[in-house]
């Protein structure tokens, strides 16, 4: 048997990734240096924490708690505000680019107008791609219902973002909707170039010794192992529904998890909680495991795997 070279690179809306793993938004990428730290450990692309129009402290601790099968988090979108964050993002973009790692800037707003305001400012950095966080589940008390829960509102935000940037735009959707396909169709029609599926799933953990919810925000978003089948189902449905690339997110911890998402139809996969399970080296480990799987099964590139689960 000839040992064929395995091509694990990804072209995501023109962004060249050395491997399909990405640092998911919301974890680790708090600063420019933190983003470079993840890139040094093998991430194929980086999504820093979401940036909003103004400084936000986020929720008080505890912001993360584990349960059997995953984690629950309510970090609450802490950020220094877009004006203060530009210098950090510029640092991340410059030093990640040196390593051949693209940076996808994540943003949020409380109103449609705020999304426009943030995009305008981020555009001064000439980002290649933006990820629009339509779906943070932990800020309802400040912002009301997440945009991603309503097709019309989600599409309106994407339209405003598109009007204010030359960058490619990925819409990060919520899993807790009656029909994610409907939301996806609406955002693609509004100009989304990709879909990130998905954000975390609302949940709660109560400490029985004290009778109190553990997270200071009481409820939070479920991530980790428990999210994977939920995300895989969403990706599978979206692959049949929209033509744009899908970035899978939810519970990817091993090479097989990443392969599973790609078989469902994902172009690339994000990793967040997996950093806890396998260390910051998780990106490198997942990539190596994917290569080992492909070698063993005789696949030469990800094209052969992508959407495989849809073939009869």
Active site residue 136: yes
Angle formed by the axes of helices 32-40 and 82-98, nearest 10°: 30
Site size for other proteins, by CB under 8 A?
48
Mark out the alpha helices in the chain (DSSP H runs).
32-40, 82-98, 112-122, 140-143, 151-163, 180-189, 228-241, 255-264, 274-278, 282-297
Decide if residue 142 touches other proteins (CB under 8 A): no
Of the candidate spans 79-87, 185-193, 238-246, 254-262, the one that interacts with other proteins by CB under 8 A turns out to be 79-87
Using the rule CB under 8 A, is 63 a contact of other proteins? yes
The piece of 13-21, 143-151, 178-186, 267-275 that touches other proteins (CB under 8 A) is: 267-275
Contact 155, 190 (CB under 8 A): yes
Cα–Cα distance measured from residue 142 to residue 174, given in angstroms and rounded to the nearest whole number: 18
**Residue 178, number of CB atoms within 10 A of its CB:** 8
Neighbours of 284 (CB within 10 A): 17
Write the interaction track for other proteins spanning residues 268-307; mark x where CB under 8 A is met and - where it is not.
Answer: ----xx-xx--xx---------------------------
Report yes or no: 188 and 195 within 8 Å, Cβ to Cβ.
yes
Among the listed residues 185, 163, 171, the one whose alpha carbon sits nearest the alpha carbon of residue 132: 171
Binding of other proteins by 179 (CB under 8 A): no
Question: Of 5-13, 141-149, 210-218, 286-294, which segment contacts other proteins by CB under 8 A?
Answer: 210-218
13, 35, 96, 136: the catalytic one is 136
Q: Give the catalytic positions in this structure.
A: 136
Q: Given the rule CB under 8 A, which residues bind other proteins?
A: 27-38, 40, 49, 55-58, 60-68, 71, 73, 75, 78-81, 84, 205, 207, 209-210, 212, 214, 216, 272-273, 275-276, 279-280
């Amino acid at each position: 048997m000839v040992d064929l070279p395995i091509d694990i690179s990804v072209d995501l809306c023109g962004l060249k990734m050395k491997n399909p793993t990405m640092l998911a938004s919301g974890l680790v990428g708090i600063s420019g240096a933190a983003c470079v730290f993840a890139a040094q450990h093998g991430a194929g692309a980086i999504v820093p924490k979401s940036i909003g129009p103004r400084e936000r402290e986020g929720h008080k601790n505890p912001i993360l708690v584990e349960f059997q099968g995953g984690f629950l988090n309510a970090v609450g979108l802490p950020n220094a505000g877009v004006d203060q964050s530009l210098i950090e993002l510029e640092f991340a973009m410059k030093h990640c680019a040196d390593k051949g790692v693209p940076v996808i800037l994540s943003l949020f707003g409380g109103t449609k107008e705020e999304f426009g305001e943030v995009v305008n400012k981020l555009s001064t950095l000439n980002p290649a791609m933006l990820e629009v966080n339509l779906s943070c589940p932990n800020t309802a008390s400040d912002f009301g219902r997440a945009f991603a829960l309503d097709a019309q509102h989600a599409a309106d935000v994407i339209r405003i973002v598109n009007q204010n940037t030359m960058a490619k735009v990925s819409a990060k959707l919520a899993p807790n909707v009656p029909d994610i396909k409907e939301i996806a169709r609406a955002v693609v029609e509004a100009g989304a170039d990709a879909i990130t599926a998905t954000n975390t799933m609302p949940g709660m953990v109560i400490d029985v010794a004290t009778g109190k919810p553990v997270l200071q925000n009481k409820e939070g978003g479920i991530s980790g192992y428990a999210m994977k089948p939920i995300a895989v189902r969403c990706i599978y449905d979206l692959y049949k529904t929209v033509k744009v690339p899908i970035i899978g997110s939810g519970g990817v911890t091993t090479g097989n998890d990443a392969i599973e998402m790609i078989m469902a139809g994902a172009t690339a996969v994000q990793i967040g909680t997996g950093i806890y399970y396998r260390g910051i080296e998780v990106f490198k480990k997942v990539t190596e495991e994917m290569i080992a799987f492909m070698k063993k099964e005789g696949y030469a590139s990800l094209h052969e795997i992508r959407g495989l689960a849809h073939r009869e």
